[in-house]
Structure 1
Amino acid sequence: MNKLLYIFLLVFALSSCSEYQKALKSEDVAVKLQAAEKKYEAEKYNKAIRLFEQIAPAYRGKPEGEKLTYMFAQSYYKTKQYYLSGYQFESLAAMYPKSEKAEEASFLGAKSYYELSPVYTLDQVDTEKAITKMQNFIDKYPDSKYSPEANATIKELREKLEKKAFEIARQYNTISDFKAAIKALDNFISDYPGTPFKEKALYYKFDSSYQLAINSVPSKMEERLNAAKTAYSALIKFNSSTEYKDKADEMLARIDKDLQQFQNK
């Protein structure tokens, strides 16, 4: 690098840093706002946040507060501080309902909760909040340009909740508590009739019914074998070419063979 250019850039950086430090220490909110805007435009979001935090209360409800709150919220969002961005976006929409940014802020406020939604194995409180907030956005802005993304987001989040519910139900099959598995999977299918996990749920219900039947005492075996056949039929009716068909057909053959002993009596 050219030595003069290096010196120029160093001086510029030191000057910029000095201006920022002066703004942090200044008692003039206008000076802080100007410095915050510069840092925001330069995508120095963490530095902008420090200044916005100092002056946001002074501008709350004022005309300048609309732009400030938007930049403040975006700075949190860009730095993945989603609880804080959600709060700021919601504040903007509430304080400035006629703002041209109100619709976007409502969407990004809901999307902040989407970003907080954890993997399905963890607690899903934020997932449920995100669904509610996204649905509220759609209800308020049904023709919004953000509606397709909002609807897709709700679908994704609902599937996450369904996956968690399915895995909880399937766990009973995994630990060989087949009675509990049948009941839990029945409840899952009833609660989520359109779920993409329905085929899996039907298969594991059949598998649980099969395992319960073939390991039953003789007095209960016939009834349980027939119940397992019914579960098989439900799976095949749902999808005749199910990925589980080969294994399910093998299990059905065993069921029919075991049932013959009762038919011959």
Structure 2
Amino acid sequence: MFFKIKRIVPLLFLAGALHSCSEYQKVLKNEDVKAKYDLAQKFYDKGDMKRANRLFEQIAPKYVGKPQGERVMFFFADSYFQRGDFNMAGYQFERFVKSYPKSEKVAEASFYGAKSYFELSPRYSLDQTDTDKALIKLQSFINMYPDSEYFAEANEMAKDLSTKKEQKAYEIGKQYNKLGEFDFTFLNPAISAFDNFISDFPGSIYREDAMYYRFESATQFAMNSFERLKPERVKEAQADYDALKKQFPETKYAVRADKLLEKLTSDQQEIAQEKEAK
């Protein structure tokens, strides 16, 4: 008896699946909008977003301006999100917000539209256009819906994206700094990149690192300069050292920074001695 039941259960599942597939294909080709709506809702509730999405896609234009249109459009956008098609999800949630600005779902749609762009944001080393777009959307949501249940999550996502942008800007400076070991002409762009970073991201977790590498780049730049330019550039590098120690008295770069300062001081003394000899 047990083995008979074991054989019957898979057959029942198979029969159910075949019926569902047959029903789906039949309704998909049918012109009955109500039947498509009901089946799309059924698939959506079961979590079958692929088939729900296909049906919602067919009927969404038919419900424009009708009472069910708001519901259809939201589920249509959400079915894209649930499938992981974040490009289309972001677009459709934006359409929903524009079409139904007074909807009870508008805050939720705004959040998931922003989250769609968050999901599209690539790792920090790649182009950050989608990151910028996501930050704008998230900030807009945060400003408009401070009491939303999604507010805390939106803040966390915005923080993650801001950190990613900071890392991108910081790594650009680091790249120039590294190239400067082989070609000192890259040191000036490194200094500029770190200046921009320090100015643009005053509260960054990379601020100490940027200030040190700004000092390191400035030191190497000064020491590789023409003699007539060295005095002024040495002073600029020393000012960077002072700024680092003032803001981070216990800096993790203390040993390295002190050694660079010694080189600067020694170089400055040599310049002074040469001037006296002349």
> What TM-score do the two structures reach when normalised by structure 2?
0.88
Bigger CA drift: 193-202 or 211-220? Answer: 211-220
* Residue of structure 2 aligned with 1:205, choices 189, 214, 221: 214
* Identity rate, percent: 48
CA distance in 1 between partners of 2:187 and 2:11 (Å): 75
Q: Secondary structure at the match of 2:229?
A: helix
Bigger CA drift: 45-54 or 157-166? Answer: 157-166
1:191-202 matches, cutoff 5 A:
191-202=200-211
CA distance in 1 between partners of 2:199 and 2:9 (Å): 70
Aligned to 2:243: 234
1:152-231 matches, cutoff 5 A:
152-176=156-180, 177-231=186-240
> What TM-score do the two structures reach when normalised by structure 1?
0.92
For these two proteins, the number of residue pairs brought into alignment is 265
Conservation of the 8 A alpha-carbon contact between 1:86 and 1:109:
yes
Aligned to 1:16: 20
CA distance in 2 between partners of 1:28 and 1:229 (Å): 78
Aligned to 1:145: 149
Aligned to 2:44: 40
Aligned to 1:249: 258
Task: Tell me which amino acid in the other structure corresponds to 1:6.
Answer: P
Bigger CA drift: 217-226 or 183-192? Answer: 217-226
Conservation of the 8 A alpha-carbon contact between 2:169 and 2:193:
no
Aligned to 2:102: 98
Task: Tell me which amino acid in the other structure corresponds to 1:234.
Answer: A
Question: Could you give the per-residue CA deviations for residues 166-211 of structure 1, whole angstroms, max 9, x where no partner exists?
Answer: 2223322121111222223223222332222221211111111111
CA distance in 2 between partners of 1:188 and 1:174 (Å): 17
Question: Could you give the per-residue CA deviations for residues 47-96 of structure 1, whole angstroms, max 9, x where no partner exists?
Answer: 11111111110012311122222221111001111111112222222222
Task: Tell me which amino acid in the other structure corresponds to 2:97.
Answer: A
Aligned to 1:86: 90
* Residue of structure 2 aligned with 1:29, choices 28, 33, 37: 33
Q: Secondary structure at the match of 2:68?
A: helix
Structure 2 unaligned blocks of 5 or more: 181-185
Q: Secondary structure at the match of 2:110?
A: helix
CA distance in 2 between partners of 1:191 and 1:14 (Å): 59
CA distance in 1 between partners of 2:189 and 2:135 (Å): 30
Task: Tell me which amino acid in the other structure corresponds to 2:106.
Answer: A
Aligned to 1:55: 59
CA distance in 2 between partners of 1:213 and 1:99 (Å): 62
Conservation of the 8 A alpha-carbon contact between 1:61 and 1:95:
no
Per the TM alignment, residue 19 of structure 1 is displaced from its structure 2 partner at its CA by 0.8
Bigger CA drift: 11-20 or 83-92? Answer: 83-92
Per the TM alignment, residue 263 of structure 1 is displaced from its structure 2 partner at its CA by 4.7
Bigger CA drift: 144-153 or 37-46? Answer: 144-153
CA distance in 1 between partners of 2:92 and 2:156 (Å): 24
